[in-house]
Structure 1
Amino acid sequence: MLAAASAGVATLALAGCAVGGENDLTLATGSTGGTYYPLGGEIANLWSNNLEDYSITATVGGASVDNLRQLDQGEVELAMGVNATAADAVSSAGDFEENPLGDPAGIRSLGNIYPEILQVVTVEGTGITSIEDLRGKRIEMGPLGSATNTLAGQVLEAYGIDPDEDLAEQFDSSFGDAATNLGDGVVDAAFGILSAPTSSIEQLATTNDVMMLNIQGAALDRLLAENPLLSPHVIPGGTYSGVDGSNNTVTAWATLYAKADLDEQLAYDLTRVMYENSREVQHSAGDDIILNSAVDGLGPVQLHPGSARYFEENGISVP
């Protein structure tokens, strides 16, 4: 019995888990006003309630870039991130070109969570009706190190706007604070990569006439050519109060990541519980945690063998 217990402890140590009464794992999410933190908290509870002897905690994070750096450095065991940002991380490109991860080849995907929809929001009275009108304005670009901040810059550049030279001022608030600043007139527009609907925009719409800015035409073509992991997306009219028309934008995927040395059976069980119990998630994005889109848009990031085994057992073709 002692030998068996020692072997079990060794296995957990190799999996990178804390050894004790329970095995504590940390999931890096995002800011409190976005989608990652509340959704990540529900997923963490789902795991904790369904995986015996494991306790998973969701923590406020700096979103995709920062989360992947924390994962790489062993500060967390699990991380939520945008697929396009993770592709840059493993390729040492984009935000990771000058400061690459210590082990970019060690990042693995456990599967997609929900479509990450870029939403560009303004309100009546700013004089803004299009992305072109953002020139010379005060813009919330998203937290530094987040996929929102990176993609906001790419969108502006696709429209010929240099974020560092052509804006009156840049802000890097979390989206909850960004929506508050927009409602208070501190800024003129805000970028956010979020699920749709998201509570921050809906709350803004209760006191302001909200407008969603379209990404379309030649600028959209340039953006998709620059970032092939993005896809065109339409937010239907009526998604937000007072916004009757559809909104043309782009989407990526919010994906769950771990390191390659995460125990294979643990990766299998984390994946299994998330997909088989997703209906217990109360957040609206829980409806998008489905097997049919679980491995879409992974790009250069490999699936963890434990997750791949689960998908293959359930008839999902693994890239």
Structure 2
Amino acid sequence: MGRVRKFTQFSLRDLVATAGPTVGLIAAACLLAYLLVDPSPPRSARLATGQENSAYEEFGKQYAAKLKKEGITLTLVRSLGSAHNLQLLREGKVDIAFVQSGSTDQAESERAGLVSLGSLFTEPVWLFMREGAAPAQLSELKGKGVNVGPEGTGVPKLFRAVLAANGVEPDELRLGALENTPATMALVGGAIDGLVFSSAPEEPLIQMLLRTPGIRLVDFPQAEAYTRRLPFLSHVVLPRGIVDLASDNPSRDHRLIAPTATMVAREDLHPALVDLLVQAASQIHGGTGWFQQQGQFPSARYTEIAVAREAAKFYKDGPPLLQRYMSFWLANFFDRMWVLVVALGALLIPLSRVVPPLYVWRIRSRLYRWYGQLRVVEQELAEAPAQRRAEICGALLARLDEIEGLVNQISIPLPFADALYSLRSHIQFVRQRVLAAMAPAPESAPAPGPE
């Protein structure tokens, strides 16, 4: 039974030898497509945050912790603020950054190759003044010393727009350019009359100033009008008692104007990283806050920069299906498998028509070479001189016996057995020709004599 099985099964060795180069070619093409057409997400990225102790920096740490769980290192790059972050993005020194609305427009961002991953939270304009210096109208700030921060932040541009809406020229004030921490110390120490922040309430310096005696938060009673004049602003309310209910701080509602913080990325950021960042944003900013309701942020709204396709899909449909049930890297691997399917489809169909004929040719080639040996025997027989014919025919018969013995050892699949038996019959045919050539020629009958 073992011998029968040996002759009936297909030849795995021949199949491997025939299909091996084809399989290798397909594997190489698939690997090339996998690496080049849809490369794997990078293991690291750079996020531009903001100044020391700023809300941008605090949120940046949360993003770094979220991505670290997925095996991605998010390097935080400290900056002066929104305007500086935009510069870092344009120069390619960072991949992602926090940017304040109103810092750029859609046309400018498209020229720079930037996309939005969504708005994250509101950044109210916090105008803190020393007690007794707080104005009823912003026009009363003329002559005051107010710190707006360095030009790398978004605040100087924003506050100039607010002053212009009130008919106040920047040179009518003493505008300072200190960073947040030294400016706060200067305000508390009485060196300046006021300072302007534009940040989330989570910023530690804002929390401190809201609780500092002698420091007053300026109300914007015309907040709704500002939003009509400056469309990138929204009207928010700091509720009474939100800072400390026990001490009723603040003692009344405060109307504020607020741009929004947006996460902006270079358009060549890997789509899988976009998905991961937006999911992290949903976890970090999706809850309730002083100025937002549950689920209000992150959002594709409130941004003047075009939203990346992957981010817009997330806001519409939620996270990708595979990432709901698998780890980030495993889900990304299966999501990228479509590249392999395309490569396989492009190669497998035409190559599948080549392999079967090659396999058949390889099996039959074992027999074809023996036909060449038979042809040689026939040629030597035809060229044998008459005086040596018997000697040569004896050698040819021995050679045919050797060929037949080797042919009998050939193992080929049963579907090709007819070719094997045909070869053996042809060996016998040539043997008969050699034997016929060895037989002596019959003697001629003598001619009849005369009677």
TM-score calculated relative to the size of structure 2 = 0.57
The CA distance in 2 between the partners of 1:205 and 1:108, in whole Å, is 35
Higher helix proportion (structure 1 or 2):
2
Gaps of 5+ in 1: 18-22, 93-100
Find the counterpart in structure 2 of residue 209 from structure 1.
214
Secondary structure at 2:178's aligned position in 1?
coil
Percent of pairs identical after alignment?
21
Contact 1:65 1:147 in 2 (8 A): yes
The CA distance in 2 between the partners of 1:45 and 1:12, in whole Å, is 27
Q: Structure 1 stretch 197-206 or stretch 39-48: which is displaced more? A: 197-206
- Find out whether 1:81 has 2:99 as its counterpart: yes
Secondary structure at 1:84's aligned position in 2?
coil
The CA distance in 2 between the partners of 1:139 and 1:293, in whole Å, is 32
Q: 2:122 aligns with which of 115, 120, 144?
A: 115
Q: Is the alpha carbon distance of 1:33 and 1:143 closer, same or farther for their aligned partners in structure 2, counting shifts above 3 Å?
A: farther
The CA distance in 1 between the partners of 2:274 and 2:104, in whole Å, is 18
Q: 1:235 aligns with which of 238, 241, 249?
A: 238
Q: Is the alpha carbon distance of 1:290 and 1:230 closer, same or farther for their aligned partners in structure 2, counting shifts above 3 Å?
A: same
Amino acid at match of 1:181: A
Q: 1:278 aligns with which of 276, 284, 300?
A: 284
Find the counterpart in structure 2 of residue 307 from structure 1.
311
TM-fit CA distance, 1:245: 1.9
Find the counterpart in structure 1 of residue 256 from structure 2.
249
Q: Is the alpha carbon distance of 1:173 and 1:290 closer, same or farther for their aligned partners in structure 2, counting shifts above 3 Å?
A: farther
- Find out whether 1:62 has 2:80 as its counterpart: yes
Amino acid at match of 1:243: P
The CA distance in 2 between the partners of 1:249 and 1:175, in whole Å, is 20
Q: Structure 1 stretch 25-34 or stretch 171-180: which is displaced more? A: 171-180
The CA distance in 1 between the partners of 2:300 and 2:196, in whole Å, is 26
- Find out whether 1:32 has 2:32 as its counterpart: no
TM-fit CA distance, 1:224: 2.9
Q: 1:295 aligns with which of 291, 296, 300?
A: 300
Q: Deviations over 1:179-215 (max 9, x none)?
A: 2211011110111111125421332344432211122
Matches within 5 A, 1:168-247: 169-196=174-201, 198-217=203-222, 221=225, 223-240=226-243, 242-247=249-254
Q: Is the alpha carbon distance of 1:59 and 1:205 closer, same or farther for their aligned partners in structure 2, counting shifts above 3 Å?
A: same
The CA distance in 1 between the partners of 2:295 and 2:212, in whole Å, is 34
Contact 1:80 1:255 in 2 (8 A): yes
Q: CA RMSD in A?
A: 3.2
Find the counterpart in structure 2 of residue 134 from structure 1.
141
The CA distance in 2 between the partners of 1:24 and 1:232, in whole Å, is 37
When Rg is computed on C-alpha atoms for both structures, the one with the higher figure is 2
Matches within 5 A, 1:140-155: 140-155=147-162
The CA distance in 1 between the partners of 2:116 and 2:255, in whole Å, is 28
Q: Deviations over 1:155-194 (max 9, x none)?
A: 1222221112x11x21122223322211011110111111
**Which of the pair has the greater relative contact order for Cα pairs under 8 Å at 6+ separation?**
1
Higher strand proportion (structure 1 or 2):
1
Find the counterpart in structure 1 of residue 90 from structure 2.
72
Q: Is the alpha carbon distance of 1:289 and 1:72 closer, same or farther for their aligned partners in structure 2, counting shifts above 3 Å?
A: farther
